[in-house]
Structure 1
């Protein structure tokens, strides 16, 4: 990877998001918890959550990931409260398609993932970007 590729990939916007991750920490009385890990880079995201009427009502995440995984956690963390499993799965599927199939940027409330468009060309980073969704969906399934 060249220096210009790295600069493109880790833009100021991505790095700023990585420092502003909402809902960091753990949820003491979580109804569902799950950890997702990227086998390529070792990044992990652990999520604890509670549901009310099938929607995320409380949420916490512990993010040990590269800047791209952290940025993804920030984008998801900003919108996750109030979402149901179906909406989250649709967001994950749209993000996966954006990264792997040149699909469009996910629609609202996941349109903040536009910042990660440059990551399309870096397949080894895709799993890290998807970790926040994977951990959240698994935590819902565990609740």
Structure 2
């Protein structure tokens, strides 16, 4: 079994892409973990097709939350709201043990060792929850 805080997790935690808030986002969401106090804020700008054109994030989280934000940020540009929601839901099901498949988002299998540590799940989910919520808010704003 791979260690919970392995070299890959720690490397991702130190290389979070898009690690700055956007000046004029179309949608923003902040998510917090009540268990550990981790916090992730995600800003998005959508293109004319409803896909993420710009992403900004502020991450104040443990190494697992930072690694998750790194994976989310590395692959979010060009993604649609349904893709973000699918990634969020697949990650949640994978961590909870109701699915053996972490979904199609690159790298999420890295969190397999965390499945046995339910207190860590909320922090790992934060970036994906915030990204999906920010994109949903941006889509609603664009539709209004």
Matched length: 137
1:8 partner SS: coil
Are 2:102 and 1:93 aligned?
no
Are 2:59 and 1:66 aligned?
no
1:9 partner SS: coil
Report how far residue 106 of structure 1 moved: 2.6
Report how far residue 66 of structure 1 moved: 0.4
- Computed over aligned residues only, the root mean square deviation of the Cα atoms, in angstroms, reads 1.5
CA distance in 1, matches of 2:106, 2:99: 13
Which stretches of structure 1, 4 residues or longer, exceed 3 Å deviation after superposition?
none
2:79 partner SS: coil
Q: In the alignment, is the contact (CA less than 8 A) between 2:75 and 2:106 conserved in 1?
A: no
CA distance in 2, matches of 1:107, 1:44: 24
What's the TM-score once normalised by structure 1's chain length? 0.91
Are 2:24 and 1:29 aligned?
yes
2:12 partner SS: helix
Q: In the alignment, is the contact (CA less than 8 A) between 1:105 and 1:113 conserved in 2?
A: no
Q: In the alignment, is the contact (CA less than 8 A) between 2:88 and 2:132 conserved in 1?
A: no
Q: In the alignment, is the contact (CA less than 8 A) between 1:34 and 1:136 conserved in 2?
A: yes
Q: What does 1:6-85 correspond to in 2, within 5 Å?
A: 8-52=3-47, 53-85=49-81
CA distance in 1, matches of 2:136, 2:89: 17
Structure 1 unaligned runs (5+)?
none
CA distance in 1, matches of 2:43, 2:74: 15
Report how far residue 102 of structure 1 moved: 5.0
